[in-house]
Structure 1
Amino acid sequence: MIRLGLRSVGIAVAVLALVSSAVVANAQSTPRWLTLPDTPTLPTAQQSGHAPVNGVSIWYATFGGGEPVVLLHGGLANANYWGGQVPSLARKYRVIVMDSRGHGRSTRNAEPYGYDLMASDVLGLMDYLKIDKAAIVGWSDGAIIGLDIAMKHPERVSRLFAFAANSDPSGVKDVTKSPVFTKFIARAEKEYEALSATPKDYKRFLEEISHMWESQPHWTESDLGRIKVPTWIVDGDHDEAIHRENTELMAGAIPRTGLLIQPEVSHFSMLQAPDQFTGDILRFLARKWD
Structure 2
Amino acid sequence: MTYADVNGINLYFETHGTGRPLVLLHGGLGSGEMFAPILPALTDHHQVILVDVQGHGRTADIDRPLDVRLMADDVAALIDHLGLDRPDVVGYSLGGGIAFNVAIRHPEKVGRLVAASANIRRSAIYPDMLAQQGQVSAAAAEFMKETPMYEAYQRLAPRPEDFPRLLDKIGQAMAQDFDFTEEVRGLQVPTLVVAADADMAPPSHFVEVFNLLDGGLRDGGWGGEGRPKGGHALAILPGLTHYDLFMSPLFATATLAFLDQDR
What aligned pairs does 1:92-241 form with structure 2 within 5 A after superposition? 92-173=45-126, 174-175=128-129, 186-215=147-176, 217-220=178-181, 222-239=182-199, 241=200
**Whole-Å Cα distance in 2 between the matches of residues 211 and 251 of structure 1?**
28
Aligned residues: 237
1:245 aligns with 2:239: no
Other structure's SS at 2:233 match:
strand
Q: Which amino acid aligns with 1:94?
A: Q
Whether 1:266 aligns to 2:219 is no
1:201, distance to aligned residue in structure 2 (A): 2.0
Q: CA deviation at 1:268?
A: 2.6
Q: CA RMSD in A?
A: 2.4
Unaligned regions of 5+ residues in structure 1, if any?
A: 1-47
Identity of aligned residues (%): 31
Q: 1:118 to 1:271 in 2, by over 3 A?
A: closer
Residue of 34, 59, 62 corresponding to 2:12: 59
**How many Å separate the matches in 1 of 2:132 and 2:66?**
25
**Structure 2 CA distance, aligned partners of 1:248 and 1:184?**
37
Distance in 1 (alpha carbons) for counterparts of 2:192 and 2:245? 16
Q: Is the 8 A contact 2:93 2:117 kept in 1?
A: yes
1:57 touches 1:108 (CA, 8 Å); kept in 2? no
Q: Provide closer, same or farther for how the CA distance between residues 55 and 152 of structure 1 changes in structure 2, counting only shifts above 3 A.
A: closer
Q: Deviations over 1:51-85 (max 9, x none)?
A: 11222211101111111111100111100011122
CA gap of 1:215–1:95, structure 2 versus 1, over 3 A, is same
What TM-score, normalized to structure 2? 0.83
Q: What is the DSSP-based 3-state SS (H/G/I as helix, E as strand, rest coil) of the residue aligned with 1:262?
A: strand
- The superposition leaves residues 237-259 of structure 1 with CA deviations (integer Å, 9 ceiling, x where unpaired) of 111x2233322221110243222
Q: Which runs of 5+ in 2 are unaligned?
A: 134-142, 215-229
Structure 1: distance between partners of 2:180 and 2:84: 27
Query: What is the SS of the residue equivalent to 2:250?
Result: helix
Tell me which structure has the larger Cα radius of gyration.
Answer: 1
CA distance change for structure 1 residues 148 and 184 in 2, over 3 Å: closer, same or farther?
farther
Q: CA deviation at 1:202?
A: 1.4
Confirm or deny: 8 A CA contact 2:145 2:151 kept in the other structure. Answer: no
Q: If each structure's helix is expressed as a fraction of its own residues, which one has the higher value?
A: 1
In the aligned structure 1, how far is the partner of 2:146 from the partner of 2:189? 33
Superposition deviation, residue 281 in structure 1: 1.4
Measured against aligned partners, the alpha-carbon deviations of 1:114-144 in whole angstroms (never above 9, x if no partner) come to 0111001111111221113111111011111
Residues of 1 paired with 2:89 and 2:31: CA distance?
16
The structural deviation recorded for 1:177 is 6.2
